[in-house]
């Protein structure tokens, strides 16, 4: 009987590439679902919580921007009112 040669683990960069290639080839026939369907339930909860925090965190900014526009609009109205009370420029001449 011929003794079978023992395969010792290879070392080095090429060996790592070969191992990765073999791992990828072994997964080629696997039917992988889209990533969304592979999410664990706790991951879905974490994504939902992140979306909630993003919306709740952005809402005060939206209100602040709206208040800023209201203030600018009011300031423009006050400036127009002051300008209408002033006598015309020709009256000063």
Over the stretch 34-66, which tens digit does the pLDDT of each residue have? 666 667 788 888 899 999 988 888 888 888 888
pTM reported for the whole predicted model:
0.35
Cβ atoms of residues 10 and 18 within 8 Å:
yes
Q: Quick one: average pLDDT of 71-81?
A: 91
* CA dist., res. 27 & res. 38, Å (int): 16
Under the banding of pLDDT at 50, 70 and 90, the label for residue 16 is: confident
**What is the three-class DSSP state of 79?**
helix
Domain ranges of the chain: 13-92
* CA dist., res. 18 & res. 7, Å (int): 14
* CA dist., res. 79 & res. 85, Å (int): 10
């Amino acid at each position: 009987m011929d003794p079978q040669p023992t395969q010792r683990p290879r070392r080095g960069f090429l060996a790592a590439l070969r191992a990765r290639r073999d791992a990828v080839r072994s997964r080629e026939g696997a039917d992988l679902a889209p990533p969304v369907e592979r999410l664990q339930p706790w991951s879905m909860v974490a994504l939902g919580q992140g979306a909630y925090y993003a919306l709740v965190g952005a809402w005060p900014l939206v209100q602040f921007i709206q208040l800023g526009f209201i203030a600018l609009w009011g300031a423009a109205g006050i400036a127009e009112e002051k300008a209408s009370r002033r006598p015309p420029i020709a009256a000063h001449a």
